[in-house]
Amino acid sequence: MGIARRTLSHMAIAVVVSVVMSYIILEVFSQGLGEIGLIAAIVAPLALGGPMVFYMSVRQVELQLAYDRLEAAAARDSLTNCLNHGAFVDAVSGALHDEQTGGGTLLVIDADHFKSINDRYGHASGDTALKFIVAAIRTSVRPIDIIGRLGGEEFGVFLPAADVEQAQRTAETIRQSVRMIEFDSGADACILSVSIGGAITAEPVDFGAIFRSADEQLYKVKETGRNSVSIVVLLPRRPTAPTAVSEPTGLVYRGQEVKRSA
C-alpha cells in the first residue's frame, strides 16, 4: 500500500509538471497545447517514469525493512532474544520518565549457583538453563513489561506503574516458575532457582538509582540463602527548604559584617 501510494503521488506530480511545461513551451513557440499535445504530456511521464519510480519505491521500502531488522537484532541478546543491556537500560529509562505511567518496579533476577551448572554440566547446559529461565519470566509477566539480559546469568524486568502488591506477586510467580523447571542435563536432572531483588518508585528517577536499590536487595537475598525475593520501596524525594539569607547591615570591617548597635 505504501509503495503504490508513493508511486501514484510521484507520478501525479510528474504529470502535472509535464503538462504545465508543455503548455508553456507550446504556447510560446506554437499555437498552444492542443489535444494531442495534452495527451502526450500526460502519457510521456507515465510511460517513461512510472516503472522507474515504482522500482525505486520498492528498493527504498526493502532497504528500510532491512535497516529495521538490523536495528532490532542489534538490540537483542542472541541467546535469549531478550533486550541486551544497553537496549534494556534505554527502554526502562524512557518508561521511568513517562508522563502517563511514571515510575514502576525494577526486578533484578540472578540464577543461583550458575557457575556450578556450567562447571558440572557444561556450557551447553548452562545456555539451556538460561533459555528456560527466560521462558519462565515471559510466562510470568504482562505484555507491557520489559525484559532484558543485564549480563551473564543476570536478568532485569521492569513493571511499569506496578505497586507493591503487584511487584511482590510477579516476583514470586517468577521465582516459583523457575523452581519448577527440571531439565535433563545428560548426567542427571538439573533443578534451577533464582534470587530476586527489586525496587519500587512512584515518581520518575534515573535508572542508576533504582538499579542500585534493586541490586542491594538482590545481594541481601544471596547472603541469606538465595531462592527468595526482597523488594524495597524508594521514598519520595523531599523538597529542600530554602536557606534563610540574613540581610546585610551595610557595615563591613576587614571583610566581616559588623552589627549595628541598638
Longest dimension (CA), the chain: 106
Quote the cell numbers at residue 249. Answer: 547591615
Quote the cell numbers at residue 85. Answer: 543491556
CA–CA dist 125, 112 (Å, integer):
15
CA–CA dist 241, 83 (Å, integer):
41
Cα 141 from chain centroid? Answer: 16
153 counts as catalytic:
yes
Quote the cell numbers at residue 87. Answer: 537496549
Helix segments in 75-122, DSSP class H: 85-96, 114-121
Residue 136's alpha-carbon distances to 67, 110, 133, 208, 259, in angstroms, are 31, 13, 5, 26, 72
244 burial level (CB within 10 Å; 0-12, 13-18, 19+):
exposed
CB 226 within 8 A of CB 197: no
Residue found under cell 541490586: 215
CB 74 within 8 A of CB 134: no
Active-site position among 35, 153, 165, 223:
153
Active-site residue numbers?
153
